[in-house]
Amino acid sequence: MKTVKPLVLAVIIAFCAFAKAQTVVNQTIDKDINAIETKVIDWRRDFHQNPELGNREFKTAEKIAAHLKSLGMDVETGIAKTGVVGILKGKRPGRVLALRADIDGLPVPERADLPFKSTAKGEYRGNEVPVMHACGHDTHIAILMGVAEVLSKNNDFAGTVKFIFQPAEEGAPPGEEGGAELMVKENVLKNPDVDAIFGLHIGSGQDINTIAYKPAGIMAASQSFTINVKGKQSHGSTPWTSIDPIMAAVKIIDGLQTIISRESPLTREAAVLSIGKIEAGVRSNIIPESAQIIGTLRTLDYDMQRQINKRMKEMVPAIAAAYRAEATIDIPAGYPITYNDPELTTQMLPTFERVAGKDNVHLIKAITGAEDFSFFAKEVPGLYFFLGGKTPGSKEAFPHHTPDFFIDEGGLLLGVKTFVQMTYDYLGQ
């Protein structure tokens, strides 16, 4: 039997002691994570019952800030109007990681029969509207608040965690700036400078306790556009004395769809053009003077986006002119493609598989939904993934942004576990 050298023996003893200490630490963290589940669900239900629209999340921000302050963090409020940022320092210097949750609701009435159903009201485009967390942002807030509490109790890591609670992900009210783009302008990724950022989104159609991811582009670029059509008003009984803007608007809508179906190379990447609103007239027997069309364009390729924009600007006035009307179109830049840094995704994949189980982690194709997390990921390496929110075996999953939208809260704890473990693994690399 060979004699073990003293130095080698010392290294083995030290490694065993470290491994034992890490096991104790992990057990403590797991205990704290499991203990936080009830709180996370309670927070989620409170935010769900009391949603607020983008740039108006005043009470939501107050609750978040109070929680972060109770954990002893340095907290900054009023970023990008109603955003909240908390800073948690580890016990040793190191990199800076940002974790992000969006906090705004939507102008959608809730139909789901829940004891914490929303009956809130808000103002949107000058009208009183029902407000609902119809995209799961309430779960995002609650998950990140839970992560903040767990990490504040277990901050034996090298580096700093910046918790970003972002308003107006669904878009700022007309005429206002907001969301991630404004947060970036206001230097939310600076002081301390962020090295990487992680984000998640709950999915009503994805089974709980699963994770879905994709390197590179995972969500589409999004542009909202507005078309104004000008005609000539007349009595409904004599349409020949009018220039009908409604007829022109209908033909414009029809024509725009041919850009997607006949001019876009959809085998390269997906593209979607949808009309969400058309407004014209006041009564049945008056052909109005004007009409307005509002819609959205989703693209996963910037060259395709540029070509579709070009054709939209050519087609809209030309179709209007064919019906003797005039039309203008405005297409702001919108959200960029949500891009997952490939190297960062590769680094974190083992974390996903360890936390959720390899069989519960799925590589997916890009989707035509959009996310202004993309503005953060343009500045620093980012990783955005999907967390399951659907009850396994349920017959129907209601889409996001609809009155029947529903999330199974049994999957929220995996969100906490994943963010916590991603933090330790990233800062420990």
Q: Buried (b) or exposed (e) across 125-164, using 16+ Cβ within 10 A?
A: eeeebbbbbbbbbbbbbbbbbbbbbbbbebbebebbbbbb
User: Is the bond leading into 115 cis (omega within 30 degrees of zero)?
Assistant: no
Tell me, yes or no, if 186 is annotated catalytic: no
103 within 8 A of 79, measured Cβ to Cβ = no
- Catalytic option among 323, 335, 384, 426: 335
Residue whose token pair is 């209908």: 250
87 within 8 A of 98, measured Cβ to Cβ = no
Residue 375, both tokens: 């503005």
Q: What is the CA radius of gyration of the chain?
A: 25
Phi, psi torsion values for 373, nearest 5 degrees: -55, -25
213 within 8 A of 338, measured Cβ to Cβ = no
Look at the alpha carbons of 8, 13, 17, 19 in this order and tell me if their dihedral is positive or negative: positive
| Helix 412-428, helix 6-35: angle, nearest 10 | 150
Partner residues linked to 330 by β-bridges: 226
Tell me, yes or no, if 176 is annotated catalytic: no
Beta carbons within 8 Å of 36's beta carbon, 6+ residues apart: 146, 149, 150, 413, 416
CA distance readout (Å), 410 to 38, 83, 362 = 10, 28, 19
Cα–Cα distance, 316 to 228 (Å, whole number) = 10
Beta carbons within 8 Å of 192's beta carbon, 6+ residues apart: 87, 96, 160, 162
Could you give the residue numbers annotated as active site? 335, 409
